[in-house]
Amino acid sequence: MNSSSESVVVNIGGIEYSIRTDIDIELTLKIAKYVDQKMMEMKNNNSIRDDVKITVLTALNIAGELFEYRSKWEKVQQKLVKIQDKISNFT
């Protein structure tokens, strides 16, 4: 993370947003592109046309992805601890 905030303009769902961010500009642009793509997928795969509902459903899907990855990461960490214990007991 950078120690100072920078501004970047992103386009999500056809709307431009000026965002101040402490993270890398390129990463911010990638995140915005990902959110935009997810919103387009949601819009194309549903009969829902209400932008607020599309936005909320997209946020829920992205949050679901985050929770899934966190759960997988926790399992990997637990496996690593077990491996470290086995290595410690072996030596």
Q: What is the pLDDT of residue 3?
A: 57
Query: Taking Cα atoms as reference points, which of 24, 21, 46, 34 lies closest to residue 13?
Result: 34
Alpha-carbon distance of 61 to 50, in angstroms, equals 17
Residue 30 is encoded by which pair of tokens?
Answer: 């990638």
pTM comes to 0.80
Compute the average pLDDT of residues 22-33. 97
Compute the average pLDDT of residues 82-91. 88
Q: What is the pLDDT of residue 90?
A: 82
Q: For residue 84, count other CB atoms closer than 10 A to its CB.
A: 10
Helices and strands (H and E) in the chain: how many:
2, 2
